[in-house]
Amino acid sequence: MAWNKTELLAKARELHSQQVKWRRHFHQNPELSDREFKTTEFINNILKKEKIKTIPLKGMATGTAALIEGKNRNGKTAALRTDIDALPIVEQNKIPFKSKNEGVMHACGHDVHMSIMLGATLLLNQMRDDLGGTIKVFFQPAEEMPPGGADQMIKAGVLKNPDVDMIFGLHVDPTLPVKQFSLRDGPTMASVTDFDITVKGVTGHAAVPHRAVDAIVAAAELIESIQKIASREVNPMENAVITFGTISGGTARNVIADTVFMKGTARTLSPETLKKLPNLIRRTAAGIAKARGAKIDINFVANYPVLVNHASANRILGESMKELFGGGSIKDTPTTMGGEDFAYFLQKIPGAMFRLGVKNSKIGADKSWHSPQFMVDEDAIYFGTAIMIDAVKRFLNGKKT
């Protein structure tokens, strides 16, 4: 049966201790993008135990998708999505369930996301006979590493057969206290255009630079010129940021480097600017190469779209939050230049991602995403689970709890 508000909250609270165990298992056993083999196995074993069907993901080595069929198989289909990968970070937290995989850490809350979606899956499966449609739950790999797992899952057909009508996602927020949530219609998270650049010159002795082509000098000029794209070639009303995160080249202080490698990222909240950035970067590189006699190769390794939340999905999420926890719990999500490949799903179907408060300074749960000291208040799992279940029920049954 589909529970009323009181019953739903009681069921979510009852499952919470088990979800905390799952979360701590995930946290202690993190896996990098596209290497989430044991994580996938763990999730699949739980789904199998609960006799929940899974959807084959052709061409994918990790990740899984659950399928729950309600009483009306000709009704609407709702989807939930969680990411499952971790980051290449050395954890500095002193906790009993600290990462056992050296140099790998769940420092962005994906362990929390997984425990919430697993719990929501199990509880929705229990009420399936009173749901007027179908539910899919995507346990998606490689959110942290371009080109991302969302596009892989879409190409594997998860949005088809039956076609998904709306998708919901969430992300933990360490700036938002527990029992607070935030929503925003429209552009919310930036596009991500990641690129690798190789500058090739001609080596030589430092004393005779005119006989060589200095790749380091060309690279320095290229970095400076590409930075000016954001300040001088993008409409100032459409913000953009370009960052070079790594650069390497050269072998000795008195040898002119013949090769320099760089990795960069460009981000914007404007779909129009997103379309322009790759060509502006290419044009700038071509000009520097010609001016300095170097060769510059650019490889665009990712192009995540702007994450644009749909008002119709946010309205459902907002109704669930208000009904379950009161209107005072809902805040406005600030826009951010951080990226999320959940945006790929939102290009295809209506949906939204909301922020889930996990901040609790008393236990140190106030550090930024991707910090080696990132921590969460695990009580947030309960709130996220209840909201997800209620939102799916509202969408499929077309009525309030």
Q: What per-residue confidence (pLDDT) applies to 1?
A: 59
The answer to whether 266 touches 244, Cβ cutoff 8 Å, is no
Q: How far apart are CA 124 and CA 8, in angstroms?
A: 10
Q: What per-residue confidence (pLDDT) applies to 289?
A: 98
The topology under which CATH files domain 191-304 is: Alpha-Beta Plaits (3.30.70)
Q: What per-residue confidence (pLDDT) applies to 146?
A: 83
Q: What per-residue confidence (pLDDT) applies to 120?
A: 98
Q: What per-residue confidence (pLDDT) applies to 347?
A: 96
Q: What's the one-letter identity of residue 372? A: P
Q: What per-residue confidence (pLDDT) applies to 3?
A: 84
Task: Please list the ranges in the chain whose pLDDT falls under 70.
Answer: 1-2, 399-401
Q: What per-residue confidence (pLDDT) applies to 401?
A: 39
Q: What per-residue confidence (pLDDT) applies to 223?
A: 98
- Compute CA distances 247 → 52, 57, 219, 280, 348, whole Å: 47, 37, 9, 20, 36
Q: What per-residue confidence (pLDDT) applies to 400?
A: 41
Location of structure tokens 């709306």: 166
Q: Model's pTM, two decimal places? A: 0.93
Domain ranges of the chain: 5-188+306-397, 191-304
Sheet holding 53-54, edge to edge: 53-54, 64-69, 133-140, 76-83, 166-177, 351-359, 181-183, 330-332
Q: What per-residue confidence (pLDDT) applies to 147?
A: 86
- Selected from 3.40.50.970, 3.40.50.1370, 3.40.630.10, 3.40.50.2300, the CATH number assigned to the domain covering 5-188+306-397 reads 3.40.630.10
